[in-house]
Each structure stands twice: as structure tokens, then as C-alpha cells.
Amino acid sequence: MNPQVLIDGLMAGALYGLGAIGVTLTYSILRFANFAHSELLTFGAYAALALSSALGALSAGLLEPIAPFSFGWALPLAGLVAVALTGLLALAVDAILFGRLRHRRSSIIVMVMASFGAALTLRSLIEFAFTSKPAYFTRELQIALPLGQGMRATPDQLLSLALAAILVIGVHLLLTRTAIGRSMRAVSENQALAGVVGVDVRRVIRVVWLLGAALACIAGIMSGLLVQLRPYMGFDLLLPLFAAAILGGIGSVPGAMLAGLIVGLAEAATVQLVGAEWRTAVAFVILVLVLLLRPQGLLGRAQA
Amino acid sequence: MSAAPAPPPALATRDLVAGYERDLPIVRGIDFSVRQGEFVVILGPNGAGKSTLVKAIAGLVPIHSGSTHLAGEDITLSPVQEKVRHGLAFVPQTENIFATLSIRENLQLAADILPRGRQAAQIDEVYSLFPDLASRRGARAGNLSGGQRQMLAVARALVVKPSVLILDEPSAGLSPKIVGEVFARLKALNGAGITIVLVEQNVKAALAVADRAVILVEGKLRHEGPAATLSSDPIVGELYLGARARQGENGR
Amino acid sequence: MSVELVAYGCFFLTMALTYAIMCLGLNLQWGQTGLFNVGIAGFVAVGAYVSALLTTPDVADRLGGFGLPMPLGWLGGSLSAALIAYLVGRLTIRLRADYLAIATFGIAAAVQLLALNLEPVTGGPFGIGFIPRPFAGRAGDPLLFSVLNLALVAAVVLLLYMALERLVRSPWGRVLRAIREDEPAALALGKNANRFRLQAFAIGGGIMGLAGAVQAHFIGFIAPENYLPMLTFQVWAMLIVGGSGNNRGAILGAVLVWGIWALSAAFISATFEPGQQARAASLQIALIGVAICAVLLLRPQGVLGEARVVSRHLLEAVGSRKIRVATDAQPVRQPPE
Ligand SMILES: Nc1ncnc2c1ncn2[C@@H]1O[C@H](COP(=O)(O)OP(=O)(O)OP(=O)(O)O)[C@@H](O)[C@H]1O
Ligand SMILES: [Mg+2]
């Protein structure tokens, strides 16, 4: 097998991992599969695009590529604001929709259906605003650097990989070492008891939305940078994200990242061995296998 | 009851009606009050609404009408996570620890509501009360034995130095020896000044440690009296056997 | 002129009624049983492709066709879809409620992929043509032809409607309702809830497959792009507009939404220049999404039946403390350890 599979798989896998961490966190705290999570990704990417072009219009210098990378300062700056905007969007959707349903003690499946409705709405509005034409953060072409063993990666790819690693470690530390992380794990195990112990469950839910949205936004920007932006970019990631979240074990951050990498590598290998047209089947096959063999996932929630 | 105005009851409910669904009250009008430093046990047959009563006080079951008071302060409307900040600690009947967290994390979680400077000291104080837990602080709570879990649940409640501690059947599923140990701990805590409300099925053991007992039947208080006299009162057996309590024997 | 209009009206109604069949299948799954299927397009596609494969004349560059009579194609199509629904349900129904949703979402994507890539069987992106049409002998008389087709599809819908109504009122249907409204109570009554759920899901899937087959034979040509997620969204909109849990509503909703859809599509193509049409169409989908959320927020009882009246009686009848309705106060259990 061509060793380049490793790089391609890691790239896709890092992206899946980031998205899947968001899915797994919101899932373990809010207790439903959020079909709208993918739209946070899409929204984040487009928000960053709009903001960075606005910044570029203000000062063309901001679009000037930074040393080895293909983008200028406009993108990271826009990214920061986009993260905040995506978080606000998640909080708004929760206030308008999920929060009310939760308050009514709606069943899981009503929440899932609501997330489905929210996803349809968001995705279509994004398509309306930005059209379905693919868009790009930058037109710069990058030369892939040789990494030895016949592997190559562009500076953008390496940067994304490093950023993903930092974020995963950061989230893991947040969950295991801080008071808010402890509260999150407590709520995910037993919401009522968490309240009894003094945890403000509503605050924890807000933090989880913000965290999930931030990770989704960053994954969306990465995907836009490394591939392209399309209104369906998130929708197409939904199956790999769910597969990774379930494979990793709902609630487990290391599990989600590991499973994201597994899905990414399996896809890259499939593209090599079977053919690119079967790539999207990989996530489904993995999903079926996990549900069949180990529905609690690789690392389960206990590992959190 | 003594009408002395001076100290308000440590815990009181006024005509409390509560239940899981709007039009289905389980607790049906309860006036209940516990003096500062008292040890009260709530008895009653299965399904009488004992858990529902204490969960309503703790803020886990919707209150339909009436009120709850802690040291004279109305806490009916304060959300569940606020009650512990008022000094009311609650140990639920089941799933009363976080099995996926370590012992240390269970205690630290409870301590998180305290000012940062006091957290470590109060956790250490609890460890000194429960040396068994102290020696295994890194262990996952889910791996503890039944008795140790109850100890951890009590320890977790004590971290915040509550003025009132409510426990829902802490003896369930424990061997008589361990039950004796748990109850001895509770008695000692009560001796140290903590007001204790204990829901129990284990009538004998509970009456042996409590000052006073109340009996709950079908969501209403049916009888109350000093623990010492109640243990020989035939009314207890009668209520437990489900015989209709005659109206005349209500209250006292 | 008026002949054309009538013929068009028949065509429109026939199409709408094929959606009504899908909607009836979804109603059995969601409206009656509370099973969330986000892969409708996949089950419809399976029905369409299997029936097409079974009934088309033999061709050189593709497996089959087997030239079987049309009724056999319909039967094969709906049985295959039912089988797939059964397998998906078998895999997920015992797990969390939302795993079924995720799995159906995956099935639709997988079916779409197979249709596209399995060229020797499905014809790949070009699809399958020359699917025998009912009353093909009368195709010379457009009016008669379209009336006959409408009559046939209407008869299918009517039969299905009557069968489903009977099913809903049967003891089986009552158990389904009990399960939907309060699973713990139904379980305590000694019913194996998952078996009933699985049956309902498979039958619903089979009905969707039948819809796919009927539609394929009516149009005479199928391709993967007929079965995009869009189809799933549309059928959901139909059920929601019609009112879930109600078979007559499901049929009515299908006709209504298909009508609105066709009209607004015509409006869009007349008003917007070609470059902007896709854009305007995306607003249509946004509306479906808003409608779903609005119904959940504003008319929750319309989505999942008559609230808890039944469960209360069950609770009292059984009088057991084993029955506990999940509330905030009781932690919802996570997937099996
Ligand atoms: N989560 C719940 N939702 C709805 N009804 C409930 C719930 N929990 C308990 N009930 C009902 O409330 C009534 C009282 O239950 P409760 O748990 O308060 O009794 P209890 O006195 O604590 O019994 P035990 O001694 O067995 O613990 C019972 O009829 C029970 O079925
Ligand atoms: Mg109880």
C-alpha cells in the first residue's frame, strides 16, 4: 500500500475526530444524537469565509499568505470570531428549540427529530445565502513537502494536524483536570445527582454547546481550507462523525479522536485498495460493525 | 408542639403536595418539621411516598403546592443545585455516587461549590472521618463495595458541612453488620450537631438511633412519636401491614 | 386542451399518491410506533430497483432483467425493502432510540452509493430504463392511459389504507400504541416491546419499498438521483402536514405537500433566472425544517399521540412500583455496558 494513505487518512481522521468529539460531548450531556451538529461545522466554515473576505476587503495585507501556509492573517482572525459566532448559534438554537423541548421532558426521539428539522433549516439557509457553488478560503497553490518514505503533506495539512492534536489534548485536560470538566462528566453520568451535589446543570449544558460548537467550527474551517466549502460539507460528514462517536464510545473524548482516526485511515485505505467511489461506504460499514459487535464502543463512557 | 418563637425548625414543610406529574400528587399535604439537632426517621410501607417527599424537599420532584423551609428560610422555589448551598445535603436512595469518577473526584465535585481556599481542608476532614475512603482515593467509585458506596455517598454529602442531612434508605442492600456501622456513623454525626432526616425500611435499627419517628402512608403523615415508645407501639406493625389507619389516630 | 389538462391532473395525482404510500409506511413507523426513520429514500430506492430488476426485459450489459410480471416485481420490491428494514431494526432497536435514526441515515447513504457504483446491477448513474408500465397497451390514448394508471395507484392506496386501519385497530395496533406512549408500562404488561417495534418497522419499510416499485413502474425510468435525502425530507413534510398517527392525514398530507411543492417549483422556475433557481429551491427545504421544528414546539401532542392518558391507566392498573416513567429526577440509562 502506498504510504501516502497514512497521511491522507490522518488528515481526514483528525477532522472527523474533532467533529466527533463535539458529537460525543453533546450526546453524553444532552442525551440525543444531534443531527444538526454537522451544520455547526458548515456554519463555522462559511462564517469564517465571510469574515475573512470582509477583513481582506478592509486591508489587503491581511490576505497576504503567512510564510509556508496558503492563507493570510485574515483567516485565523476570522476563525476566532467564527468560533464565537458558532457558539452563539448553538446557544440560540438551544434556547429556541432544544431547551424548550428538554424543559417539557420530551423523549429522546423528539429531540432527534427536532435536530433533524434544525439541520434542514440551517443547511438550506446557508445554501440560500452562499449558493451551492464550492468556495475557497484561498486560491494559493501549495507544494507538498516530502516527509520521507514517499509521504508528502502540505504545510496547511501539517498545521491542521498539529492544531487538532492540541485541541484534543486541551479538551481532554479540561474534562479531567478542571471543575467544569468534572461537572460535565458528572452530568453525563447522572444529571439528577449532579444537581443534588450542587452542579448547575444548565450552565454545564451551555458550556457543552459552546465547546462542541467551537470544535465544529474549527473542523469546518480545516475542511474548507484543505478541501473546499460547500453547503453540504457538514451533511456529508455526518455519517463519519456519528460512526466515530459511536465507535469511540459515547462520552469518551480520547475514544472519539481515536475512532475518528480509524475511520479516516479506513477510508484512505479503501480509496487505495477498492476505489474512491466506495469511500463513503466505509463509515456505514464501521457503524454497522460497531453496533453489531460492540455497541458501547471502543473506550465506552467509563474512560472519559 | 412547643410554640417557643426562638429557633426556627431546621427543616419544615407546610402542606406540601408533590408528585412526578402535574395531576397526580404522590405526597398529599404534609406538615413536617424537624428541630435543630434532631434525628428523625421517616417510616412507611413501600410506595408510601417517602422517597418522593424527600426528593421534593431536595428539589428533584416538582412541588405542586405548599412550601419547604430550611432554618426558617423558604427554599421551595430555589433550584436543586442551590439547596445544597443553603446547607441541605441529600443522599438519594439509589445511584447516589458517580460510579465513573474516582473517590477523590466525587468528593472534589461536592467541594467545588466551596471557596477555593476551604476545599482541600474540608475534603481532608471527611477523609479523616472515613479512613477506608482515604486509603483508596484514586479508585473508581464504581469499583467500591455496597457499604463503601454508601459511605462515599454520606462522605460526599458531608464535604460541604451541611446543617441538615437527608438520607433515603442508606441501609438498602447492606448486611446487618454494615448497617450497624452506617447508623453508628450517622448517630455520631448527629451528636456533632448535624440535623438528620433518615428514610428507612429497617424499622428496628432506625428506631434505635433516632429521636423521633414519623410514619407516612399513602402520601400522608399517619403517626408520629418518640422513637423509644414507637418501637413497642402496635400501630407500627398495623400500618406496615397495610391495615387502614383509622382517622382518629391521625397525627397525635 | 382540456384532455391534456385532465391527463396532467391524473399524472399529478398519481405521483402524489405514490408519495402517499411512502407516507403511510412512515406513519406506521413514526406515527403509530414512534420509530424515527431518516432513510426513507433508501427503502424506496430498494423497492424501485428490485422491482425494476425483476420485471425489465433481459439486457446485455446488466444483471437481469428477468422479465417477470409486474405484480411479482412489486412484491419482490416491497419484500426486499422490508427485509432491509428488518435487518436495520434488528441491529439497532434494542439499543438507544436514536441509534435507529443514525442507522437509517446510513442505510440511505449506502443504498445511494450502491445504486451509483454497482453498475452491473443498477446501471450506475444512468439508472434503469424501459421499466414496464401498467396498461402500456393503452399508451396510445393518453387520457385513458393516465386515468387507468391513476385508478390503479388509487386502488393500491385504498387497499393499503384499509389494511392499515384494520391493523391499527387490532390488538397488535393497540400494543404498538401502548409501547409508543409508555414503554415501561407496556413491558411490565409482559409484552415484548422490541418484537412489536421490529415488526412495525419492517412492515413500514416494506410499504416504502412498495411505493418505490409503484412509482418506478409509473415513471418507467429510475436513476440514483431520484433517491437523494431530499425525498426523505419531503415525505417527512407530508406526514407532518397531514398529522402523524393518522392514516387519512398521511394521504392528504402527501397530496397537499406534493401540490404545494409542484406549484412552488413551477413558480420558482417561472420567476427566477436559471442561475438562481437552486437557491430559491433551498428556501423550500428550509421551510420543511422550520415546519418540523414548529410542529414539535407548538403541537407536540400532534406528533406523538394523545399524551399520557393511556399510560396513567396502565400505571394504575398494574399498580406496581416497578413502572417508573423516566423524568429528570431519574437518570436515563446509557447503552448497555
Ligand atoms: N419517577 C417516578 N415517576 C412516576 N411515579 C413514580 C416515580 N417514582 C416513584 N413513583 C411512584 O410514586 C409512588 C411513591 O413512590 P416512592 O418512591 O416515593 O415510595 P417510597 O415510600 O419511597 O417506597 P420505598 O420504600 O419502596 O422506597 C409510587 O406509587 C411510585 O410508583
Ligand atoms: Mg423510597
CA nearest ligand 1 atom 7, residue: C324
User: What digits encode the pLDDT tens for the residues B37-96?
Assistant: 999 999 988 889 999 999 999 999 999 999 999 999 999 999 999 999 999 999 998 899
Q: State the closest ligand 1 atom to the C-alpha of B93, by its place in the atom list counted from 1.
A: 27
A302/B132 Cα distance (integer angstroms): 23
> Which ligand 1 atom sits closest to the C-alpha of C330?
1
Q: Is the CB of C299 under 6 A from ligand 1?
A: no
Chain A residues whose CB is inside 8 A of the B60 CB are 192, 195-196
A4-139+147-293, what's its fold?
Answer: ABC transporter involved in vitamin B12 uptake, BtuC (1.10.3470)
Reported confidence tier of residue C322, pLDDT bands at 50, 70, 90: very low
Give the pLDDT score at A278: 92
B50 in contact with ligand 1, CB cutoff 6 A: yes
Spatial contact of A260 and A17, defined as CB atoms under 8 Å apart:
yes
Scanning the structure block, which residue is given the C-alpha cell 384499509? C162
Contacts of A264 (CB under 8 A, 6+ apart): A8, A9, A10, A11, A12, A13, A14, A15, A16, A17, A240
- CB–CB contact A195 B60 (8 Å): yes
On the CB side of B124, how many CA atoms lie within 13 Å of its CA? 5
Q: How many helices (H) does chain A have, and how many strands (E)?
A: 12, 2
My answer on whether B70 and B184 are in the same domain is yes
- Same domain? For B52 and B102 the reply is no
C-alpha cell at A41: 461545522
> What are the pLDDT tens digits along chain A (304 aa)?
688 889 999 999 999 999 999 999 999 999 899 999 999 999 999 999 999 999 999 888 888 888 888 888 999 999 999 999 999 999 999 999 999 999 888 888 788 889 989 999 999 999 999 988 999 998 887 888 888 888 888 999 999 999 999 999 999 999 999 999 999 999 999 999 999 999 999 999 999 999 999 999 999 999 999 999 999 999 999 999 999 999 999 888 899 999 999 999 999 999 999 988 899 899 999 999 999 898 888 887 543 3
User: Which of A189, A196, A302 lies nearest to residue B58, judging by beta carbons?
Assistant: A196
Same domain? B41 vs B78: yes
How far B189 CA sits from the closest chain A CA (Å)?
Answer: 19
Q: Which of B140, B161, B182 is the last residue of a domain?
A: B161
- C193 vs chain B: nearest CA distance in angstroms? 24
Nearest to C331 among A192, A283, A301 (CB): A192
- What pLDDT score does A165 carry? 94
What pLDDT does C313 receive? 36
> What is the ipTM metric for this complex?
0.89
Model pLDDT, residue A222? 95
CA dihedral C280, C285, C289, C295 (to 10 degrees): 100
- Mean pLDDT within B220-248: 69
One domain for residues B249 and B187: yes
Supply the pLDDT for residue C157.
96
Distance from CA of B47 to the nearest CA of C (A): 7
The residue ranges of every structural domain in chain A are: 4-139+147-293
Q: How many CB pairs under 8 A join A and B?
A: 64
Mean pLDDT, chain C, integer: 83
C151 sits in which H/E element: helix C142-169
Check B101 against A190: CB less than 8 A apart. Answer: no
The 10s digit of each residue's pLDDT in B170-220 is 988 888 888 888 899 899 999 999 999 999 988 888 888 999 999 999 999
For ligand 1, pick from B17, B21, B50 the residue to mutate: most ligand atoms within 8 Å of CB.
B50
CATH code for position B229 = 3.40.50.300
Using the Cβ of B84 and the Cβ atoms of chain A, whether some distance falls under 8 Å is answered with yes
Please report which confidence band the pLDDT of residue C301 belongs to, taking 50, 70 and 90 as the band edges.
low
B202 closest CA partner among B165, B235, B177, B185: B177
Q: Identify all chain C residues contacting B24, using CB atoms and an 8 Å cutoff.
A: 312
Class of domain C3-329: mainly alpha
Is the C-alpha dihedral spanning B127, B128, B133, B134 positive or negative? Answer: positive
Distance B47 CA to ligand 2 centre (A): 7
pLDDT at B244: 41
pLDDT of res. C309: 31
Give strand pairing partners of B215. B43, B223
Whether residues B123 and B31 share a domain: the answer is no
Residues forming beta bridges with residue B198, ordered by sequence position? B41, B167
Measured CA to CA in angstroms, residue B185 lies from B128, B144, C286 at distances of 13, 19, 62
Ligand 2 centroid to Cα of residue B41, in Å, is: 13
Exposure of A1 by Cβ count < 10 A (0-12 exposed, 13-18 middle, 19+ buried)? exposed
Is there a domain that residue B1 lies in?
no
Report pTM. 0.86
Mean pLDDT of C76-101: 91
| CA distances from residue B140 to A97, A185, C286, C306 in whole angstroms, order as listed | 37, 13, 47, 44
Q: What is the DSSP letter of A143?
A: P
Q: Which of C36, C96, C279 sits opposite A113 (nearest CB)?
A: C36
**Closest Cα to atom 28 of ligand 1:** B47
Write out chain B residues lying below 8 Å of C327, CB-based: 20
Asked if residue C177 has pLDDT above 90, the reply is no
Do B128 and B26 lie in a common domain? no
Please name which of A246, A268, A213, A210 lies closest in space to residue C105, comparing C-alpha atoms.
A246
Query: Do residues B104 and B23 both lie within one domain?
Result: no
pLDDT digits (tens, 9 = 90+) for B142-159: 999 988 999 999 999 999
Residue A221 confidence (pLDDT): 96
Q: How many CB atoms lie within 10 A of CB A235?
A: 18
Q: Is the CB of C321 less than 8 angstroms away from the CB of B20?
A: no
Which band of pLDDT confidence, cut at 50, 70 and 90, is reported for residue C84? very high
Residue B2 located in a structural domain: no
Cell of B133: 475512603
The answer to whether residue C239 scores a pLDDT higher than 50 is yes
Within this chain, do residues B173 and B188 fall inside the same structural domain, yes or no? Answer: yes
Percent of chain C scored above 90 by pLDDT?
A: 42
Same domain, yes or no, for B250 and B178? yes
Residue C260's pLDDT is: 86
Domain end, chosen from B106, B135, B161, is at: B161
Residue B81 lies in domain: 8-87+163-252
> Does one domain contain both B106 and B72?
no
Find the B52 Cα to ligand 1 centroid distance in Å: 6
For A34, the closest chain C residue by CA position comes to C98
Domain boundaries, chain C: 3-329
The answer to whether the CB of C25 falls within 8 A of the CB of C208 is: yes
Measure in Å the smallest separation between the Cα of B232 and chain A Cα atoms: 36
**pLDDT interval class at B3 (50, 70, 90):** low
If asked whether residues B107 and B167 sit together in one domain, one would say no
Q: Could you tell me which chains touch chain C, where touching means 3 or more CB pairs under 8 A?
A: A, B
Q: How far apart are CA A184 and CA B109, in angstroms?
A: 10
User: Quick check: A109 and C283 CB within 8 A?
Assistant: no
Taking the C-alpha atoms of residue A59 and residue B226, their distance in angstroms, rounded to an integer, is: 82
Looking at the structure, tell me whether residues B178 and B233 fall in a common domain: yes
Residue C314 has pLDDT above 70, yes or no: no
Answer whether residue C321 shows pLDDT above 60: no
Chains meeting B at 3+ CB pairs closer than 8 A?
A, C
